Structure 1
Amino acid sequence: MKRLFKSWPIVLGLFSSLAWAQADFPNKPLRMIVPFPPGGVTDIVARTVSVKLGVELGQTIVVENRAGASGAIGAELGARAPADGYTLIMGNISTLAINSATFAKLGYDPVTSFDPVSMVAVQPLLITVHPGVAAKTLGELVQLAKNQPGQLNYGTAGSSIHLAVEQFNSLAGIRMNHIAYKGSAPAITDLVGGQIQVLFDPFSSIYPQVAAGKARALAVTTDKRASAAPQLPTVAEQGYAGFDVSSWQGIVVPAGTPKSVVQRLHRGLANVMASAEVKDKFAQYSAMAVATSPEEFSAYIKQELVRWKKVAQQAGVKPE
Structure 2
Amino acid sequence: MHEDDRNARPAVLVVELHVVIGGQMRHRSPLSSRLRHIGHAVSDGSWDACPSNCYSGLGLEDRMGRLPRVVAVALVASLQCIGPVLSQDWPTRPVTMVVPFAAGGPADTVGRILASSLSELLGQQVIIENVGGSGGMTGSARVAKAAPDGYQFVLGNVGTHAANQTFYKTPLYNAATDFAPVMLIAQTPLVLLARKDLPANNLKEFIAYAKANQASMQYGSGGAGSASHLACVLLNAAIGINVTHVPYRGAAPAMQDLIAGRIDYQCPDTPIAIPQIQSKMVKAIAILTRDRSPSLPSQASAHEQGLTNFDASNWFASFFPKGTSAAIVDRLHAATLATINTPAVQTRMREIGADLVAGELSSPDYLQKFVEAEIEKWAGPIKASGVSMD
* TM class, shorter-length: over 0.9
Higher relative contact order (CA 8 A, sep 6+): 1
- Structure 1 residue 99 and structure 2 residue 140: aligned? no
Residues 145 and 151 of structure 1 are in contact (CA less than 8 Å); yes or no, is this contact kept in structure 2? no
The ranges of structure 1 where at least 4 consecutive aligned residues each deviate by more than 4 angstroms after the TM superposition are none
- Structure 1 residue 300 and structure 2 residue 370: aligned? yes
Query: How much has 1:4 moved relative to structure 2?
Result: 8.2
Q: Which runs of 5+ in 1 are unaligned?
A: none
Q: 1:27 to 1:177 in 2, by over 3 A?
A: same
The alignment partner of 1:115 has SS state of strand
Q: Tell me how far apart the structure 1 counterparts of residues 243 and 389 of structure 2 sit (CA, whole Å).
A: 19
Cross-structure match for 1:282 = 349
Q: Tell me how far apart the structure 2 counterparts of residues 250 and 178 of structure 1 sit (CA, whole Å).
A: 27
- Structure 1 residue 67 and structure 2 residue 132: aligned? yes
Q: Tell me how far apart the structure 2 counterparts of residues 106 and 143 of structure 1 sit (CA, whole Å).
A: 36
Q: Tell me how far apart the structure 2 counterparts of residues 221 and 264 of structure 1 sit (CA, whole Å).
A: 35
The 5 A counterparts of 1:201-216 are 201-216=268-283
- Structure 1 residue 239 and structure 2 residue 306: aligned? yes
Q: Tell me how far apart the structure 2 counterparts of residues 148 and 199 of structure 1 sit (CA, whole Å).
A: 16
Q: 1:249 aligns with which of 316, 319, 328?
A: 316
Q: Which moved more, 1:243-252 or 1:14-23?
A: 14-23
Structure 2 length as normaliser, TM-score?
0.79
Q: 2:176 aligns with which of 101, 105, 111?
A: 111
Cross-structure match for 2:36 = none
Letter of the aligned partner of 1:33 in structure 2?
V
Q: Tell me how far apart the structure 2 counterparts of residues 73 and 174 of structure 1 sit (CA, whole Å).
A: 29
- Structure 1 residue 3 and structure 2 residue 67: aligned? yes
Residues 163 and 311 of structure 1 are in contact (CA less than 8 Å); yes or no, is this contact kept in structure 2? no
Cross-structure match for 2:96 = 31
- Structure 1 residue 174 and structure 2 residue 241: aligned? yes
CA deviation map 1:81-118 (0-9, x unaligned): 11111211111111101111121222221011101000
Alignment: residue pair count: 320
Cross-structure match for 1:265 = 332
Query: How much has 1:247 moved relative to structure 2?
Result: 1.2
Q: Which runs of 5+ in 2 are unaligned?
A: 1-64
- Structure 1 residue 144 and structure 2 residue 214: aligned? no
The alignment partner of 1:116 has SS state of strand
Q: Tell me how far apart the structure 2 counterparts of residues 257 and 309 of structure 1 sit (CA, whole Å).
A: 28
Larger Cα Rg: Structure 1 or Structure 2?
2
Cross-structure match for 2:264 = 197
Q: Percent identity?
A: 30
Q: Tell me how far apart the structure 1 counterparts of residues 228 and 196 of structure 2 sit (CA, whole Å).
A: 21
The alignment partner of 1:91 has SS state of strand
Q: Tell me how far apart the structure 1 counterparts of residues 229 and 369 of structure 2 sit (CA, whole Å).
A: 24
User: CA RMSD of the aligned region, Å?
Assistant: 1.4
Query: How much has 1:128 moved relative to structure 2?
Result: 0.8
The alignment partner of 1:78 has SS state of helix
